[in-house]
């Protein structure tokens, strides 16, 4: 699986979008890494960045009183748990990276962005998450 950033992944929050792009960068490096020590280093970097990103994203969701926050947090915890247990098996790493940097953004994060846009449209505000 190739990890290439697409503008369709943009959520409308500059911080979240930059963090998502950085997740893609790390995932791309991780998927092309062949040396065990490089894979380990990148896995740790990805875990740290994902944790920081998830904390920020959850704070934005709390601010907007996102009704699906609990399930979104659970999805984050599941991804972090999987990342923490990642093996060096390429198929396992590929599946996790796909779920983390593509599926989660396209599905879970987009549901939140749609919610915020809907609420802001109801109030006559702009479309940015913040």
Question: pTM for the complete prediction?
Answer: 0.79
pLDDT score for 123: 83
- What's the number of domains the chain is made of? 1
Q: Residue 24: which domain range?
A: 12-123
Encode pLDDT of 73-96 as tens digits. 999 999 998 888 776 667 777 788
pLDDT score for 51: 95
For residues 48 and 42, what is the distance between their CA atoms, to the nearest angstrom?
Answer: 10
Residue 5 lies in a domain: no
For residues 36 and 57, what is the distance between their CA atoms, to the nearest angstrom?
Answer: 31
- Of 22-26, 109-113, 121-125, the least confident: 121-125
Residue 76 lies in a domain: yes
Residue 75 lies in a domain: yes
CA distance readout (Å), 98 to 2, 16, 58, 61, 127 = 9, 18, 21, 23, 27
Residue 86 lies in a domain: yes
């Amino acid at each position: 699986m190739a990890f290439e950033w697409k503008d369709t992944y943009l959520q409308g929050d500059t911080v979240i979008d930059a963090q998502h792009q950085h997740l893609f960068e790390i995932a791309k490096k991780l998927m092309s890494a062949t040396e065990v020590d490089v894979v380990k280093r990148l896995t740790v970097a990805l875990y740290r960045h994902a944790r920081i990103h998830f904390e920020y994203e959850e704070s934005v969701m709390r601010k907007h009183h996102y009704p699906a926050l609990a399930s979104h947090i659970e999805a984050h915890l599941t991804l972090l748990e999987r990342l923490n247990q990642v093996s060096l098996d390429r198929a396992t790493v590929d599946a996790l990276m796909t779920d983390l940097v593509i599926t989660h953004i396209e599905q879970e994060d987009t549901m939140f962005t749609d919610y915020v846009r809907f609420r802001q449209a109801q109030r006559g505000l702009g479309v940015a998450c913040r």
